[in-house]
Structures are given as structure tokens and as C-alpha cells.
Chains A and B, each alone.
Chain A
Amino acid sequence: MRFRRAIWLPAAVLVLWHLGFLCAGFLAPYAPAEQDRDLPYTPPSHFEFRGPQGFHFRPYACEADAAAAGNQQSSCYPVHFLVHGWQYSFAGLRSDLHLFGVPAPRRISILGTDAYGRDMLSRLLFGGRISLAIGLLATLVSLVVAMLIGTLAGYHGKWTDELLTGGAELFLVVPWLYFLLALRAMLPLHLSASATFLLVVGVIGSLGWARPMRLIRGVVLSARERNFVLAARGFGAPDVYLLRRHIAPMTGGVLLTQAALLIPQFVAAEAALSFFGLGVSEPVPSWGNMLAVLQQYSVLVSYWWMLTPAIALVVTSVTYCWLAERLQRWLKSSSI
């Protein structure tokens, strides 16, 4: 009962959020790679409910610089819902149905377009699908590894600890850029989409465990010496029981906090991998490669709508933080 009350709201928001990206094909008005070379960096269209015949319920999309174009009539056009457009496949089904669209030669750009005139909304939706999966999976991988190694090091102590923390330290200081370069050189030139995905998750996950491992080790080190743990051990409780029943729950706070921190970090890290040819490459969108564009000063100050992936990332991260906090509160209340 308590669990449900604490968790359902952030969880529901997150499910909806992820569902939206899952249905990217339906929500996106255009294919994410479709270029319209006459319209690079178009600002978002705005909407009007006042047409030539006065007020109506159908929204009209208007180009941002309608006044500049001089032709008031043609710069606003009606938005239609549930229209047929480009083909996409969703869970094995092929469809061409889209939530909304505008009559053919016109284009609607709710979030503007990028350097190639590609629709930012469509790219954001499709990119989110990839990036969120990368962020979540990579976080999972690195935290599982961190948890295993950190617990082992903290609980066993002695030489195991020395060896494992030494290994983690080694991991933190070695110039990984060269490792990435070497890895790239060993792989075939072109990597398929699924191979890229696995690679990104694998690389980020396996390079990211060292920091959380340090934190978990510290907590376990201290938890091991708590009175009730010592008492349980005195009663002959086996290690596995101790770890599972007493020590693991105490790492919950650190784990949850780390998870909330790592998800956005790992989404952005994918862009860094792209520099070495290991990330998601053009024309497939990902939040990582969309964020990478923001490093350019000229883009950042000239085209504010290019910031939307950053905003989406903030929304994701804030909701995950929210969930983490609720989970932690529940964990605490249930453990007392």
C-alpha cells in the first residue's frame, strides 16, 4: 500500500514519457533523416486558431517569419490529424499513420529544423528512443558491476579489497581515449545499428563502474561492522545471507543517487564516443549527437530550438531523480 502511494506518480509519468518515445513513428510527422535542404535552421512554427473565416478549432501552423515572407495567406496552413505519411514499422507492424501533419508541399516544424532542414521533433522522438535505452542499460550495467565489485571489496577487505580498489584506480586514470581508438581500429568499418547500440552500452557501462564502486565499497566497509551485522554473524549467519539481508539494503541510497546521476551523464557520453566513430552515426538521431551540436557557440546563441534535446534530457533526469527520491523514502520507511 505504502509502496504504491509513494511510487505510482513518478512511475506513471516515466512510463508515459517512455511510451511517447516508443511511439515515435506515430508521433513524428517526418522521417528523422529526411532532409529539406531549403529550410536549414527553421525556427518552430507557431499556431493560430484564427483563420480567414474567423475562429475555428483546427489549429493553423504558421511559419515563424510570416511577416517577413510578406504573404500572409499562404504562410499559415491547416494542421490535419491522423494523416497518412511516410512508412514506419512499430513492433513488427508497418504503418503510415501519423498523429498530425500538414498538406504535402508545406512542412510543419513544431520544434524547428536542424542544419539539414530535418525536423527536430521527429529527431528528438527517435533519438530519445535510442538514447534513453542507452542511458538506462549502461547505468544498469555499470551499477551492477560496481555493486558486485564494491561489495566484494568492502565485505572481504584485506587483499581482495586492495586488488579490486587498485584495479578501479587503474581504471580511473588510464587514458581511455587510446583504448577507444584502439577498439575502433579493431572493429569493422561499418557497424550495424544493433552492434553500435550494444557497443555503446558495453563501453559506457564498463568504463563507468569505477566511481560508484568506490562509493559502494565505502558504505559496505562501514556496514560490515555494524552491531546487528556483527551479531548476525555471531549467530552463524552465512555471508550470502548477511550481504543480501543486511548489507545490500544499506547501499540502496548510494545506488539510487548514482543511478539518477549517471543516466543523463551516459546519454551525453554517447556523443563523446561518436568522436571516435563508436557512437550512433549520421543520419540516425540520438540525443548525444544532437547535444554535440550545442558545443558550437554559434548554434547555441543563434538557434534556441536546438536546445530541445537538452531540455528533454533535463525532464528525463528530473523525473528519475524524483523517482529515486521516492524509492529511497520508501526503502527507508520499509526497513525500519
Chain B
Amino acid sequence: MKAYLARRLARAVLLLFAVSLLCFLLTRLAPGSFFDDIRLNPQISPQTIATLQARYGLNQSLPLRYAHWLGSVARGDFGFSIAYNTPVSRLMWAPAEHTLLLGGVTMLLCWLISVPLAVWSARYERSLFDRGVSALTSLFISVPEIVLAVGLLAFAVRSHALPVGGMTSVGFDELPAWGKASDIARHMLAPVAILVLVGTPVIVRHLRSSVLEVLHAPFVEAARGCGIGGARLLFRHVLPAAANPAISLFGLSLAALLSGSLLVEVVTGWPGLGPLILDATLARDLDVVVAAAMLAAAMMIVGNFAADLLLLAADPRIRTGSPDAV
């Protein structure tokens, strides 16, 4: 087990290293730089722009910039944001927390909703319920996320049922403690609803299809024969056996906890990483983009590790050898 963990760790470090390297390469290959848009301002001279670029080291060679970046990682700064004129780590904490909050709630809801839906619609295959679930999931799969998001927001605006944008109301500080909580919850409703509508169908479809496969397996028939039936059979025996793709999916959604909601955050004005990263990407505030990719990679490592462990736990077949087999 120790060797296994050591190998996982080594791989994680290697992956992070590769991500950072690739990021630097890509950001160098892409055209445009941070100070490009002030070139359009006739009142700023090219000399000024050149000095600004030199100040932030934008004209240095790639290896040198990478070395500087590694140095800042060692200091815990994770690079320097040109736009905000501040170390990236200071910039990212608060938004990362907000994104994590949004992602966590979404993920919880997604799985809470989709597991029973999938299992029941597989159990009662071709029933009215199953057909309804099937129709709804294929509907929400095919509507692009952003159209869904704008549509839902339009509804919120017109019905005045939900606040539009942000995480707290302007008068947030004057609210009592429970008022604060409910204010955040109300602001969260729209983004969470969009993310759940987008996320649930994918899980339902995969889980339903694998539960269906297991339901016809001999051991289920045998269990039925032994008098094990109903919910106990479904959730205790069938579900774990059918969990395989769902677990991979779970790992992926854990990995996407920080990055899966970016678009929705931008559209709904949630103060998470989404608006920050989009802004930084378009503005070529490269260190922020690299840091975001590193964060996503870290989440990916955690997510996949969790998925592999779960796969091991749920599917005893994989457990033949040591955990090294994974």
C-alpha cells in the first residue's frame, strides 16, 4: 500500500509539472499579450508599453519566465497577476471558496437526485416513469448549457422570484445571521438549478444503463430466488455492481468541482473562479490562467484518486492483486 501511495504521489507531482510546462508553452504560442489593448489608445506611446512589458518580465525568454514562476510557487505566490498587481494566490482564495461552495452543493444535489431516478427508472424499465425520465434527460442534454442559463435567468428577472447575479445582496452586512444564510441560498438558487439541470441527466443516463445491465445478470435472479427483493436488492446489491461508469463519472465530477461551473458562474455573476479565469484568459493575465490550470489538475488528481479507491471498493473483481493493479 505504501508503495502504491508513493507511486500515486510521484505521478501527481509529475502531472502537475507537465501541466505547468504545457501551460507555459501554450501561453507563449498564443498571440496577444496583456498590454495589447492599450495599444489602441492613441494617447499611450509604444515606449510606455515596452517599459510596462519589461516591468512584468513579459519580454523575457520562456525558460527564464518559467524559472521565475517556479520561484514564486516556492514562495507560495503561484505567480503574479498583472491586472490586479498582486500575487495570484491572494487573488484566488476567496473565489475558489465560492466556487467550491457552489460546486459542492451542486454535486451533492446532482447525486442525491440522479441515483434514485436512475435506479427506479431502470427497475421499472419502459414504464411511464422511465419514459418520462428518459425524455426529460435527453431534453436537458441537448439544450446547450448557456441557453439554459440565460433562459432561467430571464425567468428569474421576469418573475422577480430570484435575485439576478452576485452572491449576496447589497445590504448583506445589515442582515442577521440567518438572514445572511438565506440571502446566500437565494442567490445560489439560479446557478445551482442550472448546474443540476445540466449535470443530472448525464449521471442518470449512465447509471440507468449500467443498472439495466446488472438487473439481468444471473446473480440478481439468484438473489430474487433467495427472497431478497425490493429496495434492499436494488441499493445493496445491484447498485454497487452497476456503479462502475458512475464512479468514473463521480471522479470526473469531483475533478470538475472547481472548473465545471465556470461558464454558469460567468453568466449568473457568481463571484467564483469563472469570471476571474475568463477575464484573465482573454486579458492574457497568464499567471492566473496557469494557476487555474494547476488548481484544476490538483482537483483532477484528487478526484481520480478517489474514483480509483471507490472503484476498488465497489468492484471486488478489480481487487484481485494488490492495489497496485489500479
Contact = CB atoms under 8 A, between A and B. Distances in A.
Q: Do chains A and B touch in the complex (CB under 8 A)?
A: yes
Interface of A: 157, 162, 165-166, 169-170, 172-175, 177-179, 181-182, 185, 211, 214-215, 217-219, 221-222, 225-226, 253-254, 256-257, 260-261, 264-265, 268, 271, 291, 294-297, 300-301, 310, 313-314, 316-318, 321-322, 325, 328, 332, 336
A31 to B, nearest CB: 27
Contacts of B31: 181-182, 185
Nearest 8 interchain pairs by C-beta = A317-B142, A182-B29, A264-B142, A181-B30, A218-B248, A268-B144, A321-B138, A225-B317
B142 A172 contact: no
Interface in B270-317: 281, 289-290, 292-293, 296-297, 300-301, 304, 307, 311, 315, 317
Contact of A178 (B26, B134, B147): B26
A156 to B, nearest CB: 11
B308 to A, nearest CB: 9
B229 interface: no
B247 interface: yes
B26 A175 contact: yes
Interface of B: 7, 11, 14-15, 18-19, 22-23, 26-27, 29-32, 134-135, 137-139, 141-144, 146-147, 150-151, 153-154, 158, 202, 205-206, 209-210, 212-213, 216, 244-245, 247-249, 251-252, 255, 259, 281, 289-290, 292-293, 296-297, 300-301, 304, 307, 311, 315, 317-318, 320, 325-326
A237 B212 CA distance: 29
A301 B301 CA distance: 42
Contacts of B213: 253, 332
A256 B209 contact: yes
B11 A162 contact: yes
B301 to A, nearest CB: 7
Contacts of B29: 178-179, 181-182, 185
9 contacts: A165-B304, A169-B301, A170-B19, A174-B293, A253-B209, A264-B144, A297-B153, A310-B144, A314-B142
A254 B146 contact: no
B136 to A, nearest CB: 10
B289 to A, nearest CB: 5
B236 to A, nearest CB: 19
A328 B281 CA distance: 42
Contacts of B281: 175, 177-178
A294 B148 CA distance: 10
Most chain B CB within 10 A, of A175, A177, A181, is at: A175
A162 B290 CA distance: 24
B147 A310 contact: yes
A317 to B, nearest CB: 3
A226 B15 contact: no
Contacts of A260: 138, 141, 205
Most chain A CB within 10 A, of B144, B297, B318, is at: B144
B206 to A, nearest CB: 5
B111 to A, nearest CB: 16
Contacts of A185: 29-31
A169 B300 contact: yes
Nearest to B298: A173
B272 to A, nearest CB: 17
Contact of A318 (B135, B202, B307, B320): B135
A195 B30 CA distance: 21
A14 to B, nearest CB: 14
Contact of A173 (B245, B247, B296): B296
